[in-house]
């Protein structure tokens, strides 16, 4: 019987997950003990198939098996990668070898000691987003302790290697043939402890403080834009690197404009006489300049008129988007006697050709009703 997992399943070593699954199902069905009257050989082969599939369906187990074979799962064997004090110390070290810097203990210690990132929700007006702005924000976060100069030690002495984790910043626990790692609870992942901790920060080298910060907002930001301010997050443990501050932009509702990307949209109600005869209207632009919008004669309600280059700024770029003015023709509700008389006179002169859409609609209705 083949002992190699790929040979057991009858697949090449570069087989994808779908091929491995299909091969396992077919092989397991063919040698299932229930189909062979409890044959011990078939039962052993069936168990071997399950063991092979359990390994190859898991990306991490498969990567370890491809590199070390069965020795990857022999914890403590003298000839395997865990034995004789050679090379590896537990299952996690296999992945340390495979994935390099991602499992590097120095990188893990630095990551554990690094300060947390912070989030700040920033509300802006459309005008502020258009031109860019500088904002002063107040945040409360862990900052370097002034009493110990962020060292964590009352006497400013250098920290010593942690006795719990031996300076690794992490501790391990055996669970079956897996070795599970977690941050060291004694040194909080830094790999170091202080003999005489500072009373102001309890040895962490950081305390909670409120501070104000000036941040620059680029022109063109929109709802959901995320701005990273490097190094302005929480301070790290005992002088380690600080985290980052992330500003999440939220837009206030505007009295005139709505927005779709760099396009501004305005709704402009006009009188039916202006719609029929044409004319012009003026609205204030987002940049403060007056914009004159020419209304063509016969414009229909719902039509949009484009003003190129009158929209929002392009973030991290040049130029502007467009302004789209949606025309809403308003029917008058308060007419004087003179105005009503004029309209009645106009109605007597109507032929139907003035409104071709209405004429066509009612013609189709007459046809549908048999004339």
* Binding region for Zn(2+): 145, 148, 162, 165, 184, 187, 198, 201
What does residue 195 show for φ and ψ, rounded to 5 degrees?
A: -75, -35
Query: Look-up: residue for tokens 């505007």?
Result: 254
Query: Look-up: residue for tokens 């004339």?
Result: 371
Query: Look-up: residue for tokens 């008389």?
Result: 341
Query: Could you tell me which residues are annotated as the binding site?
Result: 145, 148, 162, 165, 184, 187, 198, 201
The answer for residues whose C-beta is within 8 angstroms of residue 128's C-beta and 6 or more apart is 217
């Amino acid at each position: 019987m083949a002992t190699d997992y790929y040979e057991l399943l009858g697949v090449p070593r570069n087989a994808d997950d779908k091929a491995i699954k299909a091969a396992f199902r077919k092989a397991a069905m063919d040698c299932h003990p229930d189909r062979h009257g409890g044959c011990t050989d078939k039962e052993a082969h069936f168990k071997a198939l399950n063991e092979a599939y359990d390994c190859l369906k898991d990306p991490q187990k498969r990567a370890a098996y491809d590199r070390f074979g069965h020795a990857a799962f022999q914890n403590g064997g003298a000839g395997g990668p865990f034995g004789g004090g050679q090379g590896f110390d537990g299952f996690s070290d296999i992945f340390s070898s495979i994935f390099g810097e991602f499992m590097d203990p120095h990188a893990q210690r630095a990551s554990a000691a690094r300060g947390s990132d912070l989030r700040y929700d920033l509300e802006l007006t459309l005008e502020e987003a258009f031109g860019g702005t500088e904002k002063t924000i107040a945040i409360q976060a862990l900052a370097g302790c002034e009493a110990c100069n962020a060292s964590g030690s009352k006497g400013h002495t250098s920290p010593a290697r942690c006795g719990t984790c031996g300076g690794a910043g992490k501790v391990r626990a055996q669970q079956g043939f897996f070795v599970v790692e977690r941050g060291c609870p004694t040194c909080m992942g830094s790999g170091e402890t202080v003999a005489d901790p500072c009373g102001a920060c309890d040895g962490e080298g950081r305390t909670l403080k409120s501070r104000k910060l000036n941040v620059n907002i680029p022109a063109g930001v929109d709802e959901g834009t995320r701005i990273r301010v490097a190094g302005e997050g929480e301070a790290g443990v005992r002088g380690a690197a600080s985290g980052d501050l992330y500003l999440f932009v939220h837009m206030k509702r505007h009295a005139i404009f709505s927005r779709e990307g760099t396009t501004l949209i305005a709704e402009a109600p006009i009188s039916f006489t202006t719609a029929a005869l044409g004319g012009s209207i003026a609205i204030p632009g987002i940049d403060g300049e007056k914009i004159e919008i020419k209304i063509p004669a016969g414009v229909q309600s719902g039509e949009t008129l484009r003003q190129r280059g009158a929209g929002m700024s392009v973030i991290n770029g040049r130029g502007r988007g467009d302004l789209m003015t949606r025309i809403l023709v308003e029917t008058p509700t308060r007419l004087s006697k003179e105005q009503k008389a004029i309209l009645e006179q106009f109605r007597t002169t109507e032929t139907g050709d003035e409104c071709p859409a209405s004429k066509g609609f009612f013609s189709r209705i007459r046809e549908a009703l048999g004339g």
